[in-house]
Amino acid sequence: MTQDELKAAVADAAIKEIEPHLEKDTVLGIGTGSTANLFIDRLGPLRDRFKGTVASSEASAKRLQDLGIEVFELNSVGSIPFYIDGADEVNAQLHMIKGGGAALTREKIVAACAERFICIADGSKEVARLGNFPLPVEVIPMARSYVARELVKLGADPVYRQGVVTDNGNQIIDCFDFMIDDPVAMEARINAIVGVVTNGLFASRGADVLLLGKADGVERTALR
């Protein structure tokens, strides 16, 4: 199976996971990226079965709206039973690196509001130790050089993602050569640097369910 077929398989599996729980007043949290896009496409035909969504990026919001699915401001929404999103890396504790698509901050905010985070990923995203994928850090533009110097002190090789402006008007630094032994501690440590908006470690609030696409089928891991 190709990577795209594995992504499609986990998008199908996520639909099966949430479909029995859809009610007229359900608002879903929706992630960003190619795997999330496949999930969004499969939500289209179900649009009359639930109230709408909160999107983690302008790109996902547009894709949802193009399918006739309502997108609400997070501040106007009460409970969000499920947040469905991809990952750049995921470990056995369902800690993740996210933000390859620069949407990490809104992803983290919507995930924080959700009762259950369902991570959908092809098998290539599974790792024993996080860090092979460069860890994204969203920064306030004027703080970029300062934050980069602080990241060097933590052992990272920070590289400014040229030409990228986040949906929040900020910039992204990617941390190369930065293997992470304690994702919960490192997430907090980086977030404590002045000028950091957030970083792409999703560990203090990891996923609750992982749907991982493998050649022999979708593997489901549920921690909660």
Does residue number 34 form part of the binding site for ligand 5RP (CB under 6 A)? yes
Residue 157 has phi, psi (to 5 degrees) of: -110, 90
- Of 32-40, 71-79, 150-158, 168-176, the window that binds ligand 5RP (rule: CB under 6 A) is 32-40
Determine whether the annotation assigns residue 35 to a binding site.
Answer: yes
125 carries a ligand binding annotation: yes
Contact call for residues 7 and 34 (beta carbons, < 8 A): yes
Q: Which two tokens stand for residue 217?
A: 């089928």
CA distance 131 to 176: 8
CA distances from 116 to 35, 65, 90, 197, 206 (A): 18, 23, 16, 23, 10
Q: What is the DSSP letter of 40?
A: H
Q: Which of 87, 148, 151, 209 binds ligand 5RP (CB under 6 A)?
A: 87
Contact flag: residue 33 with ligand 5RP (CB under 6 A) = yes
Q: Which string of x and - marks every residue 126-165 that binds ligand 5RP (by CB under 6 A)?
A: ----------------------------------------
User: Active-site residue among 89, 107, 126, 187?
Assistant: 107
Active site includes 107? yes
Among residues 29, 31, 131, 134, the one that binds ligand 5RP under rule CB under 6 A? 31
Distance between CA 162 and CA 181 in Å, rounded? Answer: 28
Q: Does 106 bind ligand 5RP (CB under 6 A)?
A: no
The pair phi, psi for residue 37, each rounded to 5°, is -60, -40
Pairing of strands 209-214, 114-122: parallel
Residue of 29, 82, 101, 213 that binds ligand 5RP (CB under 6 A): 101
103 touches ligand 5RP by CB under 6 A = yes
Q: Which of 32, 53, 105, 170 binds ligand 5RP (CB under 6 A)?
A: 32
Q: How far apart are CA 210 and CA 85, in angstroms?
A: 10
Q: By CB under 6 A, what part of segment 110-129 binds ligand 5RP?
A: none
**Strand, coil or helix: 59:** helix
Which residues are identified as catalytic? 107
Q: Interface with ligand 5RP by CB under 6 A: which residues?
A: 31-35, 85-88, 98-104, 107
